[in-house]
Structure 1
Amino acid sequence: MTGAAAIMRRWGRAVARWALIGLFGLVALSVAWVGLYAVAPVWGTPLMLIRAATDGAGMAQRWVPLDQVSPHLVRAVVASEDSTFCDHGGFDWDAIEAVFEANAEGKPLKGGSTISQQTAKNAFLWPGRDWLRKGAEAWFTLLIEQGWSKRRILEVYLNIIEWDDGVYGAEAAARHHFRKSASALTRREAALLAVVLPSPRHWSPTAPGPYIARRAAIIEKRMAVVERDGLADCAR
C-alpha cells in the first residue's frame, strides 16, 4: 500500500467515525428535545421564528392546558384532521399510500399527515415538503408517539398550530377571531376554526365564504360522530 493510499484510508475512517458520532449526537439531541417537550410548554417553534424573521409576522401565543380548551374544538380538529388519531401509531398508512401514488404520477408531495405528524413538524422542524424534511418528520413522529401520551400530543398541537398570520394556538386564535377564551368556544366556532387549518392565512373563520361555511357544517356533523363513537376519548 502506497503512502497516499494509507493516508486516504485513514482519512476515510476518520470521516466515517465523525459521521457516526454526529449521527448519534443528533439522535441524542432529538430524544432529549422530545423529552423536554413532554412536560414543558412549547413557547416557540421553528415556524414561528421563520415567519417572524421573513414576513415580519408576530408571535401571538398563549399556552393553556388541554382542559382549558373547549371539548368542541378537540372534537372538531379530530373530525377535520385525523379521525383515527386515537387508534394509529402516528401514521395513516392508507393516506400515505395515496400520497405516494399521487407522487408517482408527478403530482406534488403533500397530504396524508396525521395530527401526530403535524405536531412533530410544527414543534421541531422547518416548513417544506422535501424528502429530508419528511424523513425528519417521520423520526420525530415516532419519538412523540413513543414518549408522549395522545393527550399530550393533542395538547401541544392545539397550542402551536397556526390559525392566522402570527397567531398560534387555540387560546390566541379564540381571542383573535372570536374575542373569547378557547374554553368558551361554541360548536360552530370550533368547526370554523378547524376547517380553516389547511390554509389559515387565507381562510377566515369569522368571515367564511360559501365553501368554508359548507365545510364547517360538514365538520359539525362529523363532530357528533366523534363524540358518539369516542374517537377523541384518548385526549381526556
Structure 2
Amino acid sequence: MKTIRTVVVEDEAVTSRNLIHLLGEIAHDIDIVSALSTVEEATTWFAGNENMYDLIFMDIRLADGLSFDIFKRIAIDKPVIFVTAYNDYAITAFRNNGIDYILKPFDEEEIANAVNKYKRWMGSATPHVLPVFADLAAQIGNLSKSYKKSFLIHYRDKLIPVETAKISWFYTANEIVYARTDDDRQFVMDFTMEQLEQQLEPDTFFRANRQFLINRRAITEVEFYFNGRLLVKVKPIAEMQILISKARVPEFKKWMNT
C-alpha cells in the first residue's frame, strides 16, 4: 500500500496533535512527514522538500500571517485540505490548490471524508486537475453558522451557565484556556482558542494575539506601544499585557471602528 506523505501546517499545538492523532486513527496509510507552525517555517520546508510529500492539511491564519502567503513565495503543486476556524477565506483557499475546506472544531468523520476525497481525486483520470469551482462553491453555501450565546462550564462539582456577553476575555496559558467574566470570575474552558474563535461573534470578540481573545465591551483604553504595537487595557485588569502586533494594528482599528 502506497503511503500518503502528509504535512500538517497548524500553529495551535493542541489542534495539531489532535489532527495528527485523528489522521493516524482513520487512515493507516498516512505518514506525517512534517508538522509546521508558521508561514516562515512552512515556506522554508516546502522550498527544500518539494518531492517529499503528497498532501497538505493547512490552517489559514497562522501566528505570523495567512498561509496563503506561502503560495505567494513558492510554487506548490500538491493538493491542500484547509482546516480553519474561518469561513471568510473559502474562495481564496480553493484558488490555492484546495480540494476541501473544513471548519473547526472538526471531527473524525469530516477528516475521514476529506482523506477519501483526496483518494478519489488521485484515482481519477486527470488527478492534476483541481476540483471545479461549482462543486466547491456549493460547499461554501453550507458554511453559515450561528454563534454561541452561552457556555455550560464545569466548575468544581457543578455545571454553570455563563452568558457569552458577560465574558470579558479568554486567555491561554500552558495549553489551558480560561475565561474571565465581567464580575472577575475565572473558569477553565473545554475548548482551544481556535475553537472559541469559531464559536464567537467576530464583531464582538477579537483575537488580539495567540494568548488573548477580547470582548469589545471589556476594552477601557488602547495605548501606543514599542515598535508600532498597541497595548490594550481591559476590565477586569489582565495579569499579562495584551499586545496587538504591528501587522494586526490596521485590522484591530477597523474592528474597533465598526
Q: Give me the TM-score of the superposition, normalised by structure 1.
A: 0.30
With CA pairs under 8 Å and 6+ residues apart, which has the higher RCO, 1 or 2? 1
Q: Give me the TM-score of the superposition, normalised by structure 2.
A: 0.28
Task: Tell which structure's C-alpha radius of gyration is larger.
Answer: 1
Bigger fraction of residues in strand: 2
